Amino acid sequence: MTKKLHHLSALELNRAFIEGQIRAVDIAAYFLDRIQIHNPKLGAFLSILAERALIQAEAIDLKRSQNKPLGRLAGVPIAIKDNMHILNEITTCGSKFLKNYRAPFDATAVHLMEQEDALILGKTNLDEFAMGSSNENSAFFPAHNPWNVKCVPGGSSGGSAAAIGARLSLLATGSDTGGSIRQPAGLCGVVGFKPTYGRVSRFGLVAFGSSLDQIGPITTTVADAALAMEVIGRHCPQDSTSLTLPPESYLDTLNNTNLSEITFGVPWHFLENLAPESRTNFSNSLDVLKGLGAKIIDIDLDICKYAIAIYYILATAEASTNLARFDGIRYGERSSQAKILDDVYELSREEGFGAEVKKRVMLGTYVLSSGYQDAYYKKAQKVRTLVIRSFERAYDRCDAVLLPVSPSTAFPLHSIHDPIQMYMQDIFTIPANLAGLPAISVPSGFDNNGLPFGLQFIGPQMHDVPVMQYAHAYEMATLYTRKIAPAFEGT
């Protein structure tokens, strides 16, 4: 091996392993070492599953030595967002409430990856119950941005994005309810893919907003995201909302696109208030795509100015019921102060939940209450339908929509105090969740402080493969994905 292992992509490392250039136990040890060294300043991992990774690595090495067939992810180190279950391991969801909760089953996505011989290194940090855009809502400690550890990595999959940005792992899972894969991927200069709603099973993902949640990969390259999707993008009978479609081929067709036949839509009016530096970066990206032959047209997605408002009604409404099960009766935190049943509920939730979670549960309860439901929940559902229609109309004229990933690059920890300003982080990512669309975030350059920007491709439902093709074409023309945060380039 001439190259350092963490400079490889997952595909390259998998190939090196299959070809016998390196043992799985060495891969596991190498990345576990990196985690040991760098995690204290990054806070990317909440738990490190060293023993599990090494046992799995030995098993894979044995398989290889016996010439048994090896999985698609053989030897690839992966990190799991800590709101997805690994059988018999702790799933905290970044919450004190579940700090001792041992998962009684595997999430389907985790199971599929482990079946393909991936090496699970650990569980990554997140905003409590995936509620947040900066990872500052983790009940344990915040995660940090590899490009500047004084800055946030984004959220809620901040730990996964930071881990990939710092190359502590080569593949990580995220969950995306309103941008929780794409926004941190954008802020950490890595690739994040949110599949079409229903493409990846949610079984074993602790729910936030069930109609919006979607699991997807965070990787260093688009091709690695394609590899991950071939493994986890499968129908699952245990998730009723799982699409009953055959798995798609992503990798084979990744280079098949000729952008000169592609039209991208840009909702210029919706981008009116974009900050100058972000606008410049976005325009540069459009120039790259034009240079590749793509046609860019103006489309109308003005309805998306309501996206944040309706998102914070629908997601919190669903969350208020999804989180009702955390009551101190069956599992998780139970207040030692509780004397009667109502105490068990009130004190356990009071002590177990953080401020943002409580706020969203209250908001969600309020918008569903009788007398308010028509004005909030039901109206928001109607507007959601309008958002879907708006995208459908746009896709009559273009193949994919282009948007920045977030309004700005990473911001310093504890710098945003106004909740609305924090919620605005997701203005460009939420629309894809509302409409269930596949969307990918790819690195698109850096600001004056060396912090990464991200570009977002949003396709029509089920067009996961084309979305990845466009992103791949852009990636190959820019090579921003080759850049590693300077502090983490070396060992």
What order do you get walking across the sheet with 400-404 strand by strand? 45-48, 119-124, 77-81, 171-175, 215-219, 191-194, 439-446, 452-458, 400-404, 263-266, 295-298
Among candidate residues 133, 134, 160, 180, the one labeled active-site is: 180
Return the residue of 282, 311, 345, 474 that touches other proteins, per CB under 8 A.
345
Q: Please report how close the Cβ of residue 336 comes to other proteins at its closest, in angstroms.
A: 15
Nearer to other proteins, 65 or 372 (CB): 372
Look up 242 and say whether it is catalytic.
Answer: no
435 contacts 428 by C-beta, under 8 angstroms: no
Instruction: Considering only the stretches 48-56, 150-158, 223-231, 365-373, report the one whose residues sit in contact with other proteins under the rule CB under 8 A.
Output: 365-373
Amino acid at the residue 115: Q
CA distances 417 to 134, 140, 413, 420, Å, are 12, 19, 10, 9
Q: What is the DSSP code string of 124-159? A: E--SGGG--SSSTT-SS----BTTBTTB---SSSHH
Distance CA 236, CA 243 (A): 8
Nearer to other proteins, 328 or 445 (CB): 328
Q: Please report how close the Cβ of residue 15 comes to other proteins at its closest, in angstroms.
A: 33
Among candidate residues 9, 47, 81, 194, the one labeled active-site is: 81
Return the residue of 22, 118, 262, 368 that touches other proteins, per CB under 8 A.
368
CA distances 301 to 44, 359, 462, Å, are 35, 29, 20
115-144 binders of other proteins (CB under 8 A): none
Q: What are the tokens at 22?
A: 């390196």
377 contacts other proteins (rule: CB under 8 A): yes
Distance of CA 334 to the CA centre of its chain: 30
Nearer to other proteins, 145 or 348 (CB): 348
CA distances 83 to 66, 150, 211, 230, 489, Å, are 35, 25, 16, 22, 29
88 contacts other proteins (rule: CB under 8 A): no
232-261 binders of other proteins (CB under 8 A): 237-241
331 contacts other proteins (rule: CB under 8 A): yes
105 contacts other proteins (rule: CB under 8 A): yes
46 contacts other proteins (rule: CB under 8 A): no
321 contacts other proteins (rule: CB under 8 A): yes
Return the residue of 46, 49, 78, 107 that touches other proteins, per CB under 8 A.
107
Nearer to other proteins, 75 or 328 (CB): 328
201-220 binders of other proteins (CB under 8 A): 202-207, 209-211
310 contacts other proteins (rule: CB under 8 A): no
Look up 81 and say whether it is catalytic.
Answer: yes
101 contacts other proteins (rule: CB under 8 A): yes
Nearer to other proteins, 148 or 373 (CB): 373
410 contacts 284 by C-beta, under 8 angstroms: no
295 contacts 329 by C-beta, under 8 angstroms: no
Nearer to other proteins, 67 or 370 (CB): 370
Q: Please report how close the Cβ of residue 370 comes to other proteins at its closest, in angstroms.
A: 5
Nearer to other proteins, 6 or 202 (CB): 202
Among candidate residues 9, 95, 138, 156, the one labeled active-site is: 156
Q: Which residues contact 193 (CB under 8 A, 6 or more apart)?
A: 181, 182, 216, 217, 218, 219, 225, 228, 229, 438, 439, 440, 441, 464, 467, 468
103 contacts other proteins (rule: CB under 8 A): yes
Q: What is the DSSP code string of 398-446? A: -SEEEEESSSSS--BTT----HHHHHGGGTTTHHHHHTT--EEEEEEEE
3-state secondary structure of 217: strand
Residues that bind other proteins (CB under 8 A): 84-85, 91, 93, 98, 101, 103-105, 107, 202-207, 209-211, 237-241, 317-318, 320-321, 324-327, 329-331, 341, 345, 365, 368-370, 373, 377
Active-site annotation, residues:
81, 156, 180
